[in-house]
């Protein structure tokens, strides 16, 4: 659902155009085409996030008892950055 919401928000104008067309003409085919294609985009966008989350969880479960507090904070920051990582890379300040 989050990915669908993001996909709609990214293409908000298309969303409102398709909705307006369906309301004006009572023809819902363009709306259905919009919604299905946006759903497919959302699924494609969600896959890297799911794979990242599963990979991170496996890593964390394996090493959580061997990492010190500073390392745990760093690993958590990496997890928060998500699959796209840090803009400009990671450094000591980040």
d(CA 83, CA 17): 31
Going by pLDDT thresholds of 50, 70 and 90, the confidence category of residue 55 is very high
Handedness of CA 17, 19, 25, 28 (dihedral sign): positive
Question: Which pLDDT does position 68 carry in this prediction?
Answer: 93
Q: What mean pLDDT comes out for the span 30-34?
A: 87
Q: At CA 47, angle to CA 42 and CA 50, rounded to 5?
A: 120
Question: Which pLDDT does position 62 carry in this prediction?
Answer: 93
35-49 confidence digits (pLDDT tens): 899 989 888 888 888
Q: Residues of the chain with pLDDT > 90: what percent?
A: 16
Question: Which pLDDT does position 18 carry in this prediction?
Answer: 86
Rounded (10°) CA dihedral 65, 67, 72, 77: -120
């Amino acid at each position: 659902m989050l990915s669908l919401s993001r996909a709609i928000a990214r293409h908000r104008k298309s969303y409102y155009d398709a909705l307006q067309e369906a309301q004006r003409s009572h023809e819902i085919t363009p709306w259905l085409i919009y919604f299905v294609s946006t759903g497919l985009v959302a699924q494609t966008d969600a896959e890297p996030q799911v794979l990242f989350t599963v990979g991170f969880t496996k890593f964390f479960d394996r090493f959580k008892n061997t990492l010190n507090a500073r390392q745990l904070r760093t690993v958590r920051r990496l997890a928060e950055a998500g699959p796209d990582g840090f803009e400009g890379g990671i450094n000591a300040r980040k």
